[in-house]
């Protein structure tokens, strides 16, 4: 596990500058952010309480959380990401209510039941097994607190078609005696939505809602990104439909810690 964790940390340290500069402008992130915040709104009655952003990156969610009344903690494996996040919030009026630090999603430094809400956007796919992180989220949440997760979907049309294509390329390479890429890229552990729902239940959560997000298709998205973006926007209303579950590349789920 340690070599893989080091590999992921190094990858995000190297990507931190581009991520901080470009990620917020990407429609894929904007769509996820909008849906996560819609699901989060109204999750905690009265005072908003404490929110934890796991894998917070350069603090792209923190301003919205602060403005909703939360005191916010954010952790990330990458020190470079945390540095960009602190710089981003340095002049924010509510910066004293935001606490960013290097941390581990599987070992959250907090007392049991400390948080009212936990957000994990684009993190679980970097873990070989979701279960330890889900158990730790459950421990960190108050009874009745909510977790909001976004994870790439293995069953989406895009990932399925691209996977078939990549498998075909690998077969041809082997037939020709050529070596392919060495192992899967970081972030390859995509979810099967109903299996993730089952894992959440096993960790002590009750599913409240789910959404699909980012409707892109292979090879259209790779060959004609502007056409792909236009189609993605047109298909966004499918986020709550059963069909959307198989077309959206991201699965978003809201779950509550059972009392």
In a domain, 226, yes or no: no
The two three-digit tokens of residue 168, written as one number: 């075909």
pLDDT of 171 higher than 90: no
For residue 116, is it within any domain? Answer: yes
Number of structural domains found in the chain: 1
Best CA proximity match to 56, nearest among 81, 19, 22:
81
Which domain does 89 fall in, by range?
Answer: 2-153+185-215+249-257
pTM: 0.91
User: Model confidence over 108-128: pLDDT tens digits?
Assistant: 999 999 999 999 999 999 999
Residue 253: beta bridge partners? 149, 210
Q: Is 109 part of a structural domain of the chain?
A: yes
Confidence (pLDDT) at 7: 85
Mean pLDDT of 180-187: 55
**Is 138 part of a structural domain of the chain?**
yes
Q: Write the DSSP assignment of 55-101 as a string of letters.
A: T-TTTSSHHHHHHTT-EEEEEES-HHHHHHHHHHHTT-TTGGGEEEE
Which one-letter DSSP state was computed for residue 156? S
- Cα torsion through 150, 59, 16, 133, rounded to 10: -40
Task: Write the CATH number for 50.
Answer: 3.40.50.150
Q: Indicate whether 67 belongs to any domain.
A: yes
Residue 158, domain member (yes or no): no
Tell me the pLDDT tens digit for each residue of 22-61.
999 999 999 999 999 999 996 555 457 999 999 999 999 9
* Dist. CA 52–CA 224, nearest whole Å: 37
Whether the predicted pLDDT of 1 surpasses 50: no
Residue 59, domain member (yes or no): yes
pLDDT in tens, 242-254: 999 999 999 999 9
Domain-embedded: residue 241: no
pLDDT tens digits, residue range 127-150?
999 999 999 999 999 999 999 999
């Amino acid at each position: 596990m340690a070599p893989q964790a080091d590999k992921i940390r190094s990858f995000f340290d190297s990507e931190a500058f581009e991520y901080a500069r470009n990620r917020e402008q990407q429609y894929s992130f904007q769509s996820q952010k909008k849906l996560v915040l819609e699901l989060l709104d109204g999750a905690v009655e009265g005072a908003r309480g404490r929110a934890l952003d796991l894998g917070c990156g350069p603090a792209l969610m923190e301003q919205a959380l602060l403005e909703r009344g939360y005191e916010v903690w954010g952790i990330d494996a990458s020190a470079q990401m945390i540095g960009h996040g602190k710089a981003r919030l340095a002049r924010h009026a509510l910066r004293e209510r935001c606490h960013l630090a290097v941390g581990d999603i599987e070992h959250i430094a907090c007392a049991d039941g400390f948080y009212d809400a936990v957000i994990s956007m684009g993190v679980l796919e970097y873990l070989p097994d979701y279960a330890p992180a889900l158990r730790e989220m459950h421990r960190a949440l108050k009874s009745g607190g909510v977790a909001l997760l976004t994870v790439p979907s293995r069953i989406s049309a895009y990932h399925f078609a691209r996977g078939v294509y990549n498998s075909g390329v690998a077969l041809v390479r082997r037939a020709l005696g050529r070596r392919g890429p060495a192992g899967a890229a970081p972030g390859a552990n995509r979810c099967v939505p109903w299996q993730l729902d089952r894992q959440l239940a096993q960790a002590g959560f009750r599913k409240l809602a789910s959404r699909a997000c980012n409707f892109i298709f292979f090879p259209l998205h790779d060959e004609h990104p502007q056409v792909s973006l236009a189609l993605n926007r047109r298909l966004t209303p499918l986020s709550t439909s059963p069909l959307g579950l198989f077309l959206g590349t991201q699965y978003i789920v809201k779950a509550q810690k059972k009392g």
